[in-house]
């Protein structure tokens, strides 16, 4: 390449060597034409060993030399300058020195001169390596978490699907048991046999309800929500029918029904009967056996309400918080408790399907009241 640039003035010459950064001048092909004291000190070569003897890129690591050819040279050629490039200098002795550089092309009497300013960046290098490492660690953690999450989701999906299939398949043999028991009950039987048949019927009935709960639960958990068919209904009649049915199931217990207000409302009669069934069943299980359970159905101006009250020990506040989550049940339940803890969850799902909600009030002395409130 052309002649070296003319020697700068005395003042500039001083500056070239006293500035607090490494300075280099090269020809277009990288041959070093000037190097300041600081730069020489960093690389461990004298100016005489560098000037005219070496190309700037020969002081870089191999990776740096490739980068120099694929990024540095084209950018300098195309835009005349490049800044904040971080490369590593291979020095005479010791480990490589990370440096950050700016460079620009200056025309000196038509001959391009490359001016390079360099700063040692050991601390920045360390810091960046740590950042890169943390990022790598984070990426690994995120990948791991994502994998675990998706595995868990797969397992949960599988479990719920299995439950759906199993409970659906259990219905057929159960209904056959119920039908057979009903047939047997019509024939001439000894008292002890009648009791046995009644027990078979009750157990099959309970198992059927449990399966129906499981199906509802599965449907709700698989994200489809509970199916309801909303029509105009008579709430009081619907609740009264269910209460009547429940009295037969719990002949030894007092079960009251109070009606307030009048008028039709829109809802799913079967689902609301299920609400009454689940809440009463719950009250029978946890309430005091010598106190009545009271069901109240209320029609108000814009909403309807079903509440079920029982006397007995209050539900601890910490249990109240998770009462409507699936698989939760009060600790006082005996081993004969009816369900695996789906009843209240299904009540809350039915309330949701009616755009309503369920709440609980429980305190010592006043007992426990579950209240479902839905828009009319």
Choose between 56 and 286: whose C-beta lies nearer to other proteins. 56
Q: Quote the least distance from Cβ 153 to other proteins, whole Å.
A: 24
Instruction: Please state, in angstroms and as integers, the Cα–Cα distance from residue 351 to each residue in 220, 264, 354, following that order.
Output: 12, 18, 5
- Which listed residue (22, 64, 267, 343) binds other proteins by CB under 8 A? 64
73 binds other proteins (CB under 8 A): yes
65 binds other proteins (CB under 8 A): yes
Q: Quote the least distance from Cβ 3 to other proteins, whole Å.
A: 17
Near other proteins by CB under 8 A, which window of 60-68, 231-239, 254-262, 301-309? 60-68
- Which listed residue (54, 86, 247, 352) binds other proteins by CB under 8 A? 86
- Which listed residue (15, 18, 69, 202) binds other proteins by CB under 8 A? 69
83 binds other proteins (CB under 8 A): yes
HEC profile of 47-59: HHHHCCCCEHHHH
Segment 120-159, which members bind other proteins (CB under 8 A)?
Answer: 125, 128-129, 132
Please name which of 338, 337, 248, 262 lies closest in space to residue 299, comparing C-alpha atoms. 262
Instruction: Give the binding-site size for other proteins (rule: CB under 8 A).
Output: 39
Query: By three-state DSSP, how is residue 135 classified?
Result: helix
Cα dihedral 108, 112, 113, 114, rounded to 10, equals 150
Strands 255-260 and 293-299: parallel
Site string for other proteins, 249-278 (x = CB under 8 A): ------------------------------
What are phi and psi for residue 125, nearest 5 degrees? Answer: -60, -45
Choose between 119 and 185: whose C-beta lies nearer to other proteins. 119
DSSP codes, 320-334: HTTTTSTT---TT--
Site string for other proteins, 102-121 (x = CB under 8 A): x-xx-x--------------
Name the burial class of residue 235, with classes exposed (0-12), middle (13-18) and buried (19+) by CB atoms within 10 angstroms of its CB: buried
The number of helix segments (H) and strand segments (E) in the chain equals 11, 12
Q: Quote the least distance from Cβ 93 to other proteins, whole Å.
A: 20
54 binds other proteins (CB under 8 A): no
What are phi and psi for residue 161, nearest 5 degrees? Answer: -65, -40
Give me the residues that bind other proteins (CB under 8 A), please.
28-30, 55, 57, 61-67, 69-71, 73-75, 77-88, 98, 102, 104-105, 107, 125, 128-129, 132
């Amino acid at each position: 390449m052309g002649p070296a640039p003319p020697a700068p003035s005395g003042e500039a010459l001083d500056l070239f060597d006293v500035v607090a950064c490494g300075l280099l001048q090269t020809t277009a092909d990288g041959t070093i034409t000037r190097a300041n004291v600081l730069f020489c000190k960093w690389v461990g070569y004298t100016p005489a060993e560098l000037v005219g003897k070496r190309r700037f890129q020969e002081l870089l690591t191999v990776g740096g030399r490739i980068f120099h050819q694929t990024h540095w040279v084209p950018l300098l050629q195309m835009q005349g300058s490049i800044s904040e490039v971080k490369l590593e200098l291979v020095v005479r002795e010791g480990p490589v020195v990370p440096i950050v550089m700016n460079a620009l092309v200056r025309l000196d009497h038509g001959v391009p001169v490359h001016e390079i300013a360099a700063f040692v960046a050991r601390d920045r290098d360390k810091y960046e390596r740590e950042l890169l490492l943390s990022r790598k660690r984070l990426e690994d953690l995120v990948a791991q978490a994502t994998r675990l999450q998706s595995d868990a989701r797969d397992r949960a999906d599988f479990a719920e699907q299995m439950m759906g299939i199993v409970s659906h398949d259990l219905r057929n043999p159960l209904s056959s048991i119920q039908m057979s028991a009903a047939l047997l009950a019509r024939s001439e039987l000894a008292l002890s046999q009648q009791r046995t048949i009644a027990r078979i019927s009750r157990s099959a009935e309970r198992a059927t309800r449990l399966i129906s709960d499981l199906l509802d639960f599965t449907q709700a958990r698989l994200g489809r929500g509970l199916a309801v068919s909303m029509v105009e209904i008579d709430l009081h009649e619907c609740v009264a029918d269910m209460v009547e049915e429940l009295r037969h199931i719990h002949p030894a217990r007092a079960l009251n029904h109070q009606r307030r207000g009048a008028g039709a409302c829109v809802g799913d009669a079967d689902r609301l009967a299920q609400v009454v069934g689940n809440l009463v069943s719950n009250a029978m299980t946890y309430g005091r056996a010598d106190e009545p359970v009271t069901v109240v159905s209320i029609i108000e101006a814009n909403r309807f309400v079903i509440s079920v009250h029982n006397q007995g020990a209050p539900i601890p506040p910490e249990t109240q918080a998770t009462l409507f989550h699936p698989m939760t049940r009060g600790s006082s339940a005996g081993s004969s408790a009816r369900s695996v803890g789906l009843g209240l969850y299904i009540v809350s799902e039915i309330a949701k399907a009616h755009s309503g909600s369920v709440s609980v009030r429980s305190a010592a002395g006043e007992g426990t009241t579950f209240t479902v409130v839905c828009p009319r």
